[in-house]
Amino acid sequence: MLISQALATETAAVATDAAATTGAVSPMSGVTGQFVLIGVMFLLFYMLLIRPQQKRLKAQQSMLSALKVGDRVVTGGGLLGVISKIINDAEVEVDLGQFKVTALRYTLTARNETPAA
């Protein structure tokens, strides 16, 4: 061995004395620290990802529920049109100029506020 028995016992005794005088950390505090870290990570995840997505979803739902005939809308495919008829809660008829299409309400992404020229 590279270390003598006397040096090993002396080093162990010094280490236990140092831990006793400085207030040794219990094994439970390490676990508690990990739970706190996990809690902080979950809080950051919620604040940065979940909460903004819920706000956008709520704004989208309120916009879709407020649609009426004559509103200019943008579809999910980027088509601009005017709502010509509300068929039911899930479908609307959109006038694209030369033709009319039936679109699902949830595919309408925005209400276009600029008037037609």
pLDDT digits (tens, 9 = 90+) for 42-89: 999 999 999 999 999 999 999 998 899 999 999 989 899 999 999 998
Q: Which amino acid is at 111?
A: R
pLDDT tens-place string over residues 87-109 = 998 999 999 999 999 999 999 99
Buried b (16+ CB within 10 A) or exposed e, 59-91: eeeeebeeeeeebbbebeeeeebbbeeeeeeee
Q: What pLDDT sits at residue 112? A: 79
**Domain definitions of the chain by residue range:** 25-66, 68-117
Contact by Cβ (8 Å): 102, 117: no
The SS3 assignment for 72 reads: strand
Residue 29 pLDDT level (bands cut at 50, 70, 90): confident
Q: Is the pLDDT of residue 11 over 90?
A: no
Fold held by 68-117: SH3 type barrels. (2.30.30)
